[in-house]
Amino acid sequence: MTASTVPEVPPGAPEPVGRPAAVFALLSEYASALDKVRASGRTVGFVPTMGALHAGHQALVRRAASECDVVAVSIFVNPLQFGDPDDLERYPRLPDEDVQAAGEAGATFVLMPEVSEMFPSFPAPVPTAVTVSGLADRWEGAARPGHFSGVATVVAKLFAVTGRCRAYFGEKDYQQLAVVRRMAADLSFPVEVVGCTTVRDEDGLALSSRNVRLGAEERRAAAVLPQALAAGARAIAEGEYRPSMVEALMSQVVGEEPAVELDYAVVVDGNDLAPAISLRPDRPLRLLIAAHVGGVRLIDNIDPAAGTRGIPPPRRSVTYSATPINPTQPVMVHRSRPGPAPADDPTKGK
């Protein structure tokens, strides 16, 4: 379907399920279709993605469809946010399946522009870029220089053409969500940024377009990431008050899997993502983790106060003796109890 087939969506018309009403390649046509939607008094929900849509993306689209009259999904593999050309090259691209998946979840419009439409000068440097300092410099920003500037630049451009809307982002990319919120507020975009819960596989691994690149053994080993986060959350729920001990525990859990190379496992302030100084319950906290599994870089995070929902209990009983960073502190012994019994989960209901 092309932009020339764009139908007028009459006010009150039922939202299409199964296929979007229109797929746009041109920003101008997409922008004017959304202007017409708003002119008819309806609200717009926007879900930006890089495609290879999975149930996590579809959950964002469903949430948008439940809260907005018309949902637009963008599918664009943004070259500005990839430092490694091989990573960009290998990123999965499934346009036909994506249009179908977006429509099934409730998308009305899909924007699928070419790189030349988004960034005409590319691969020469794009002259105008958006940077968010501070927030974007830590963790993923430090590991992937230029990444968040690429994200902020493409999201700013997508917000500009989408116009007034509610925009749905996954908490799965927690730092990205924080950067986008900051950028939207600082540049006064008429966009309300909405964070959505991470969708996980049965073993707790967060769904990601990159998971398809994991071999069978790597895929099995990758489940240690949510296990490490859950162990950290349990330790906090059991009264651990030292961030360094929680971090040592998380890295010990990851150390159980030789196939997984930890990049960072940290406790941060949930607002500014600075390293947490204390684990006071009145402060919002986030546990962040990043690791390489085979050639694939995976990230995940949880809010320890929200418990370990979606992450199954560990399969076997392991006792971790975390070595504190400050050797004058006592060694913490934490028992990771085996399943079943979510009822035994000390974080349940918190």
For binding to ligand AMP (CB under 6 A), which residues are involved?
49-50, 56-57, 59-60, 169-170, 172-173, 196, 198-199, 206-209
For ligand AMP, which is the closer residue by CB, 57 or 62? 57
What's the sign of the alpha-carbon dihedral 192, 50, 32, 42? negative
For ligand AMP, which is the closer residue by CB, 199 or 222? 199
Catalytic residue annotation: 57
For ligand AMP, which is the closer residue by CB, 6 or 311? 311
Q: How far is the CB of 36 from ligand AMP (least distance, A)?
A: 26
Q: How far is the CB of 311 from ligand AMP (least distance, A)?
A: 13
CA 29 to each of CA 5, 48, 109, 113, 181: distance values in angstroms, whole numbers, following the listed order: 11, 17, 11, 11, 26
Residue 222: alpha-carbon gap to chain centroid: 17
Token look-up 């925009």 returns 167
Q: How far is the CB of 317 from ligand AMP (least distance, A)?
A: 28
Element holding 153 (H helix, E strand): helix 147-162
Q: What is the dihedral of CA 173, 189, 19, 41, to 10 degrees?
A: 140
- What is d(CA 318, CA 305) in angstroms, rounded to the nearest whole number? 23
Q: How far is the CB of 19 from ligand AMP (least distance, A)?
A: 20
For ligand AMP, which is the closer residue by CB, 56 or 141? 56
- What is d(CA 343, CA 136) in angstroms, rounded to the nearest whole number? 38
